[in-house]
Amino acid sequence: MPLDKIGKWVGEKLVQLKEKGILKGKELVITEIKKSQGTKSPRYLIEGEGKKEFIKMNSNSYLGMSLKKEVIEAEKEAAEEFGVGPGAVRFIYGTFKPHLELEKKLARFHQKEAGMLFSSAYAAVCGILSPLISSETIVISDTLNHNSIINAIKLSKPKDKKIYIHLNMDDLETKIKECRGNCRRVIIVTDGVFSMRGDHSDFKELVNLAKKYHPEFKEGVFTIADDSHGVGAFGKTGRGTSEVSGENDVDILVSTLGKALGVNGGYVVTNAKIVEYLRETAPFYIYSNPITPPEANAALKALEILNSQKGRKMLSYLKEMTIYFKKGLTDLGYETIKGEHPIVAVMIRDTQKTIKLVNYLKEKGILAVGLKYPIVPQGDECIRFQISADHTKDDLDDVLKTLREYKNK
Ligand SMILES: Cc1ncc(COP(=O)(O)O)c(C=O)c1O
């Protein structure tokens, strides 16, 4: 019975999570997807809910790529040609043609010299930060950065870490100044789009600050951004926060293939020297399988669609629907956060009210995510809706109608 003693401790931990209101509990299982029909976007069937159909207002697949016929075909073709798995890590013959082609095309898409794939964006963030952080590095990070950045910093053991107030460039500048004389290298790390709120960094301001103080540190000041929710969802051509922020760009960009591109996996794009170094030193890259060759081929197709006239149309429609939905919410008296990203956070500002509204929406066949403390700061409790290019105006009208009924109840 070697696990009986730890079992008691684990049980107590689970009770604590429940008491804190952060236990995720039983996962909801999708058993069937009904494809788009007429003015109806795809509908989802869920285990235990019989034939009831749900609309997903909480999907990261902002362009609906995961269900696109051409993307599915690309995955099938590569599975026939290369098999379904890489069979090894990259340096032990786990590198296939679609991996290299995808790395090259991602780099070109972001106008960087080189790209590098990881099994996920989470692995990419954790994989690159530790080889770039020395014992003489101070990392400066936004308060609301994604969990992958928080854990990557912990893993990397920098000389020090500093947290700046969310999106506050004055505070960031103060923190950079505090590093003077205390380290050789400063790394500023941030999310592009912040997943809980849909607001975003201004890369231009960030890069300008890095440039301003770069000469004062022996190994310089540089920027790393994770734009997993920005790429493919934001900007006229889907280049994410870089595009929305203007022409300046971060030094190292991380993103995912598992959200707007609809597939799975993560990547980094930056200059060729850094990629060469990371391939030799990033443990999550060296000692872990890459995405499968079929996944890489599917991502190549999704990227090709994104980077075409069709992709631009999808992005323009996505923006139009986001603005439409936000206006509908405002007209109903709901509070939202300014911006045009398809993450639409409806601020409820109370835990119990958030839970109640999420349950009501589910009862009415609408899936949305309730974000409560401590996932968001106390008082920022909200419901996160995510618009997709698959959604139709009729879909959004139905959701708004349900929200109106709830308000009038
Ligand atoms: C900002 C951010 N980075 C990284 C990730 C993780 O992406 P992946 O699923 O590719 O690991 C997420 C997903 O929730 C995210 O929101």
Tell me the one-letter amino acid at 29.
V
pLDDT above 80 (res 408)? yes
The CATH class for the domain spanning 69-306 reads: alpha beta
Q: Residue 23 pLDDT > 90, yes or no? A: no
Concerning whether 156 is annotated as a catalytic residue, the answer is no
Q: Which amino acid makes up residue 339? A: G
Q: Quick: pLDDT tens for 26-61.
A: 999 999 999 998 899 999 999 999 999 999 999 999
**Atom 7 of ligand 1, residue of closest alpha carbon:** 121
Pick the residue whose CA is nearest to atom 3 on ligand 1: 228
What is the DSSP secondary structure assignment for residue 214, as one 8-state letter? G
Percent of the chain scored above 90 by pLDDT?
92
pLDDT of 116 > 90? The answer is yes
Ligand 1: centre distance to CA 226 (Å): 8
Which pLDDT does position 372 carry in this prediction? 87
C-alpha of residue 120 to centroid of ligand 1, in Å: 8
The per-residue pLDDT for range 154-193, each reduced to its tens digit, is 999 999 999 999 999 999 999 999 999 999 999 999 999 9
Q: Give the model's pLDDT for residue 184.
A: 98
pLDDT grade for 128, boundaries at 50, 70 and 90: very high
Q: How many residues does the chain have?
A: 409
Check if 229 is active-site: yes
Measuring CA to CA, how many Å separate 107 from each of 112, 303, 310, 313, 388?
5, 11, 21, 23, 25
Helix (H/G/I), strand (E/B), else coil: 388: coil
Quick one: pLDDT at residue 249? Answer: 84
CB 192 within 8 A of CB 227: yes
Q: Specify the pLDDT at position 190.
A: 98
Residues 6+ apart with CB under 8 A from 156: 129, 130, 133, 139
Tell me if 127 sits within 8 A of 275, measured CB to CB: no
Tokens describing residue 288: 């872990």
Please indicate whether residue 195 is annotated as part of the active site.
yes
Mutational pocket test of ligand 1: of 144, 195, 263, the residue with most ligand atoms within 8 Å of the beta carbon: 195
Residue 92 CA to residue 400 CA, distance in Å, equals: 53
Helices (H) and strands (E) in the chain, counts: 14, 15
**Domain segments of the chain as ranges:** 19-67+312-408, 69-306
Residues with CB under 6 A from ligand 1: 120-122, 146, 148, 191, 195, 226, 228-229, 256, 258, 266
The residues, any chain, with a CB within 8 Å of residue 281's CB and separated by 6 or more, are: 131
Whole-number mean pLDDT of the chain?
96
DSSP letter assigned to residue 120: S
The whole model's pTM is what?
A: 0.96
Pick the catalytic residue from 175, 200, 259, 319: 259
Q: How far is the CA of 386 from the centre of ligand 1 (A)?
A: 15
Contacts 24+ apart (CB under 8 A), 100-103: 101/296, 101/300, 102/267, 102/296, 102/299, 102/300, 102/303, 103/267
Alpha carbons 76 and 298: distance in angstroms, whole number: 8
d(CA 19, CA 88): 43
Multiple choice CATH, 19-67+312-408, 3.40.50.970, 3.90.1150.10, 1.50.10.10, 3.30.70.3420 = 3.90.1150.10
Confidence of residue 22 (pLDDT cuts 50, 70, 90): confident
Per the CB < 8 A criterion, the answer to whether 131 and 278 are in contact is yes
* Of 43-47, 194-198, 324-328, the least confident: 194-198
List, as one string, the DSSP characters of 303-357.
HHHHTSHHHHHHHHHHHHHHHHHHHHHHHTT-EE-SS-SSEEEEE---HHHHHHH
Q: 229, 301, 319, 372: which is the annotated catalytic residue?
A: 229
